[in-house]
Structure 1
Amino acid sequence: MTTENAQRLVIRRASWEADGVMSLELVSADGGDLPGWEPGAHLDIVVPSGLVRQYSLCGDTADRSRYRIAVLREPESRGGSAEIHDTALIGRTIEVRGPRNHFPLEPAVAYVFVAGGIGITPLLPMVAAAERAGVAYQVVYGGRSLASMAFRDELPVGAHVRLIAEDTGGRPDLATVVKESPEGAVVYACGPNGMLDALAEACERVGRELRLERFGSDGEGAAEAATGASFEVELRRTGAVVRVGESDRMLDRILETCPDLMTSCEEGFCGTCETTVLEGIPEHHDTILNEKERATGKTMMVCVGRSKSSRLVLDL
């Protein structure tokens, strides 16, 4: 694991927020202030087994004394959520990296916040920021049932906030939500891939800007990055040069020299392995960077990246 932006925090409190959803409160061991953060930020959490998982910060951005995250127990997860739910964590010191933000709230004339299940977590601070700024917004929060929908009591009360439980009200009509949104509104969304894909189609039809954060990947990025022209990668800090063959995964070649590189999803959706590009032209296959960020060529997700140039120089 790299030590960049790493800190050790104490889990002070765990609380049930909904069926299967536990929140954790993390504080500094010495009681000092924590690094500031903005809506959309997340932490990389190193769970006791050594797995690295990402969780959105869902507390108060003005409260520097603590961080709050929420974890949904997922039977089909890769192990992190079950470990957090099944391990006695209160009082334990854990290693984290961040906060980091690939999902920032950008200025807009109005917002539409769409959450699916645990996807409410990155949106909670955004709603609070819009409320403070006096910017028009609406919230559409869908879940399997009201009992499964965490933090619903923390949302403002009013017609601009809609809670839609699938067991009683079906699924949100996303096409209508987008169509009826104000001109110039920006849609922010987090939830299952199916919901996000439907929302993307609806936004494209009416010309709304969409910012989203995904729970997972459809695997296309990793598949696209699995083959391509061979290239060299110079790891500037270590001084090593590795060769990535036509059917090699760049991450595997890098880990042979940098085994402590922090990685997690290895599918291009979590951002843990984001690395600074010093020279060369990266080939992106992640679902995090937008087109503008990709065009700068300044960083890349090395788990699903390749190179358009014959040589790539990374800050590793």
Structure 2
Amino acid sequence: MMKKLFWLVLSAAILTGQGVIAQETDSQAQSFQKEDSLLQVVSNLSDRIQKAEEETRNERIWKKRAKYFNIGYITSQTLTDKLDDEAEWKNDFGVSLTFGKTYYLHKKPLLNMIKFGIDATWFELSYAKYSEPDVFAETGSYTRAYNDYSSDYDDYYEEDIDLGIHQIDASMHVGPSVTVNPVGDLKVAAYFHYVPTYSMVVIDDSFGHGYVSNFAFGASVAYKAISVGIEHRWAKKATYNGLSFDEEGMDYDAPDFEDAIESDKWKMKSKSFRVFLSFRY
């Protein structure tokens, strides 16, 4: 009897122990599942936060700063007669206004900091005032225009209306650019632009105009909405229609003399350097 009771108690204990072990195993499995679910939720939430931060940063650094409005000061600009290199005008001062936008070629920045784009300047207006070349101001004669500049012929010609020497350009830009965002809201950019230009020149009472193919390269440093930059611009050929010529002061032995007199086109070349303040928005 006692033996049966012993085996009965032992079996009950074993069954109870197995039940407890099974319960503990189930509890541990459920705990692991809860931990995995919690880690998954935390991971998803972290990914969402990171994605939201990247979108906010992309909006702040790139999308909100794609358009630009530049105010430029032309520190140096020259117009040079292609038939007479001594006939070179240098500007006294010049200013420019520029409106445009950068179209980035990819959504996410390379290496999380570099973007390539196409700059499109929809409109630029610039003005420059010149003085006559020093060599002609000193000698009192000029080779291509200005009858009144030839001191030897003052008795024979009426003096021209002196409006001064001015240039007004209306242009557009298009070209590639690269922008680097090394840290925070700081950006450094460089660009190369083709600049088709309608150029107008006033020389005393003579008015000339024509199409000019300019090229430009520049660089800028920006912090948030404010940017400062520099630009060099040049044109190897600028043809102006309508400017008058002074045959009296010209070199008759010059190979292009006849072509210059028979045509009302004045061929020049130009180059300029400017600094600008830009507002990005």
Say yes or no: TM over 0.5: no
* TM-score normalised over the length of structure 1: 0.20
TM-score normalised by L of structure 2: 0.22
Larger RCO of the pair (alpha carbons < 8 Å, separation 6+): 2
Of the two, which has the highest radius of gyration?
2
Higher strand share: 2
Bigger helix share: 2
